[in-house]
Chains A and B, each alone.
Chain A
Amino acid sequence: MYQSKWRIFTNHTILILGALFMIMPVWIAFASSTHTREFIFQNGLQFWPGGHMIENYGAILFDPAATKGRVTALEMLFNSMVLGLGFAIGKVIISMMAAYAIVYFRFKLAVPLFWVIFSTLLLPLEVRIVPSYEVVANLGLLNSYTGLILPLIASATGTFFFRQFYRSVPDELLEAARLDGAGPVRFFIDILVPLSVTMIAAIFIIMFVVGWNQYLWPLLMTTDDQLYTIVIGIKQVYNSLYEGGQIPQFPKAFALTIMATIPPVLVVVIFQRMFIKGLVETEK
């Protein structure tokens, strides 16, 4: 399509302004995290980085006192990583298997069951959080990674996406595999899983970010500081800003925020390459 110079200019202006609009708050948070707390308290948010980056980030990463709890940011990052990975991997595995059962096994309840699964989209975690908590508490899983992850890994969205994908796989592949002596498990592992790599990457990205950003559920589930995720940690640090007579720890709160955003960004950047590669070299 022909584009005039004027048009290219306006397009880019809009894009650049939009990008700046998005990135600016993050930048200000980063810049402000590199000053001393006294400086921020006196001068407000900063646009240019200061000289205390290593000091602030070091303290928050390794010193439990800096986060006003008994847990360092490093440990919180680890907890978040466990939650994000467990959440994403669990969802991918469960929804792949559910979709496999629904698409490839002819049992009478396949269609109604699929719609039952699908209708759970109408019941987000917030709606069922009290009964879910009750169940997990009765199972004695409070303050454990299992309790944090397990109740969240059933995924209607994932099941739906995998179902749609499997339905587009030609039946002849299944038939050829049957003639080649592959049973249901072999077919799943040898044929379907490799074919779904792109789908797996896409769902993994989305689910990892969703899992990482979980707030309400970890907040309810974890009363032990040792299990705090970084998202909860941010909340804790901000809470503690106003407690006691000290000068608020704004730079450290900002540092924690910045650190909380890095892993999801990395996951998206890394997997997106794979995702696009998968889309380009389509395997079907």
Chain B
Amino acid sequence: MATVTLNQAEKTYPNGYKAIHGIDLAIKDGEFTVLVGPSGCGKSTLLRMIAGLESISAGEISIDDKVVNKVAPADRDIAMVFQNYALYPHMNNFDNMAYGLRNRGYSKTDIESKVREAARILQLEDHLERKPRQLSGGQRQRVAMGRAIVRQPKVFLFDEPLSNLDAKLRVDMRLEIKNLQQRLGITSVYVTHDQVEAMTLADRLIVMNGGVAEQIGTPIDIYEKPATKFVAGFIGSPAMNFLTAKVSDDCKHVIVGDGVMLDIDHDVAGGQAVTAGIRPEHLSLANNGDGHINAVVRMVESLGAETLVYLDFGSGADNVTLRLQGTHQFAKNDALSLTVQADKIHLFDIETGKRI
């Protein structure tokens, strides 16, 4: 149905603050793209630029190869779902969904059938006559989505749509959104700060930091080969362990902590100072003494299906998180021995943070 292309898109506010630094992006037809990043990284601004709610300071944004820099939001053929739903409080849910259609001059029968159809898809048929305030958070969210889908726009934009919902509902709605998007096949851009949402929803993930796209790729690509230390730390929960390390002279090992040698198979110069990153799930318990890393338990979080162990490592300067399947009993100050596979170690340049 539609592609969205960003060509060196930039946003500079009148006070001189540069929120977006030249982003290039090509979103394919029907693709679910997720913008993820910490607050203030510019992800919402970028979304609002696509929507036309923020002007574009430099560069170009095109929808279906048509540059829309100067096109009004209503004429871009997009629909947006807001974090706080932004439903019109004085209108009932039917009118909330129908409002955009009425303004576009659809006939009464057309509006009726489109709204009923959207309500059917979203299971809102029984609530059309009610006002938004009479609905629960999840239902309001559905009305907001209904308002977006009745128009059958070229592009869906979602601005943290689930962050006002409670945890359980969030998971349900997440699945529903994914399902809906796949069924309708509409190109979507979704903004979130929740990396679980990002990983599960995205066909393609864009990790943003400080107004720059740090990495663009499939969620698994980004998980397996994070391009920078920032991305490595942001994607994955619990976050990746970072250890200051030095590459051994034979280039076959990195030395972490108090002289612990870890095997690596990276193409890297000997003697270089690097940051070694190891995901908590890639550390495993070894029989006592056989492991590479010897560390002391500081705290244990049992989640049932898995156990998170926080450890002090070496002389105590480094902390390591370990993620184990199932339940385990550890006491504070237990000594554990851990192993790690060479291909699960990520190395990052200590200066630039870039992946080596």
A245 to B79, CA, bound (A): 82
Name the interface size band of chain A: 10 to 19
A179 x B74 contact (CB < 8 A):
yes
Q: Which of A45-53, A170-178, A235-243 contacts B (4 or more CB under 8 A)?
A: A170-178
Q: Is A194 an interface residue (CB 8 A)?
A: yes
- Give A182 to B104 CA distance when docked, in angstroms: 9
**Bound CA span A181–B87, Å:** 15
| Chain B positions 41-69 with a Cβ under 8 Å from a chain A Cβ | 51-53
**Which chain A residues lie closer than 8 Å to B87 at the CB level?**
176
Of the candidates A178, A179, A186, A195, the one whose C-beta lies within 8 Å of that of B89 is A195
Contact with A along B63-83 (1 / 0, CB 8 A): 000000000111000111011
Structural contact, B89 and A190, CB atoms closer than 8 A: no
Bound Cα distance from A179 to B87, whole angstroms = 12
Interface Cβ pair total, 8 Å cutoff: 60
Cα distance, A176 to B52, chains bound together (Å): 12
Does the CB pair B89–A172 fall under 8 Å? no
Known interface pairs A178-B73, A179-B51, A181-B74. Does A170 touch B86 (Cβ–Cβ under 8 Å)? yes
Binary per-residue interface labels of chain B (81-124) against chain A in the complex, 1 for a CB within 8 Å, 0 otherwise: 01110111111000000011001100000000000000000000
Instruction: Please provide the chain A residues from 1 to 59 with a CB less than 8 Å away from any CB of chain B in the complex.
Output: none
Say yes or no: is A283 at the interface (Cβ < 8 Å to chain B): yes
Cβ–Cβ contact B74 & A178, under 8 A: yes
Residue of A nearest to B84 (CB): A172
A180 x B99 contact (CB < 8 A): yes
CB of B84 within 8 A of CB of A181, answer no
Q: How far is the CA of A180 from the CA of B82 in the complex (A)?
A: 13
- List B contacts of A269 (CB < 8 A): none
Contact of B100 among A172, A179, A191, A284 (CB under 8 A): A179
* Closest partner residue, chain A, to B153 (CB atom): A179
B-side contacts of A177, CB under 8 Å: 88, 99
Interface size class on chain B is 20 to 34
Chain B interface, >50% SS class? loop
B86 and A175 contact, CB distance less than 8 A: yes
Given A178-B74, A179-B51, A179-B78, answer yes or no on A190-B84 (Cβ-Cβ < 8 Å): no
The answer for the CA separation of A252 and B78 in the assembled complex, in Å, is 70
Q: For residue B59, give the distance in angstroms from its CB to the closest CB of chain A.
A: 22
A interface: dominant SS: helix
* Interchain CB contact under 8 A, A190 and B99: yes
- Taking a contact as CB atoms closer than 8 A, the residue among A170, A173, A179, A190 that contacts B73 in the complex is A179
Task: Write the nearest CB–CB distance from A178 to chain B, whole angstroms.
Answer: 5
Cα distance, A177 to B74, chains bound together (Å): 9
| A182 and B103 alpha carbons, distance in the complex (Å) | 6
B84 contact set on A, CB distance < 8 A: 170, 172
A184 to chain B: closest CB distance in Å? 12
Q: With A186-B103, A190-B99 given, is the CB distance from A179 to B80 under 8 Å?
A: yes
B67 to chain A, nearest CB (A): 19
Q: Which of B72, B80, B104, B133 lies in contact with A176, CB distance below 8 A?
A: B80
Establish whether residues B79 and A179, one from each chain, have CB atoms under 8 Å apart when the complex forms.
Answer: yes
Most-contacted residue by chain A among B74, B78, B83, B104 (CB, 10 A): B74
Q: Shortest 9 CB-CB distances between A and B: which pairs?
A: A180-B100, A172-B86, A181-B74, A181-B103, A176-B86, A194-B90, A283-B89, A172-B82, A178-B73
Binding site for A on B (CB under 8 A): 51-53, 72-74, 78-80, 82-84, 86-91, 99-100, 103-104, 133, 147
Seed contacts A182-B103, A190-B99, A284-B89; 14 additional CB < 8 Å A-B pairs: A172-B82, A173-B86, A176-B87, A176-B88, A178-B72, A178-B73, A179-B51, A180-B74, A180-B100, A181-B104, A182-B99, A283-B89, A283-B90, A283-B133
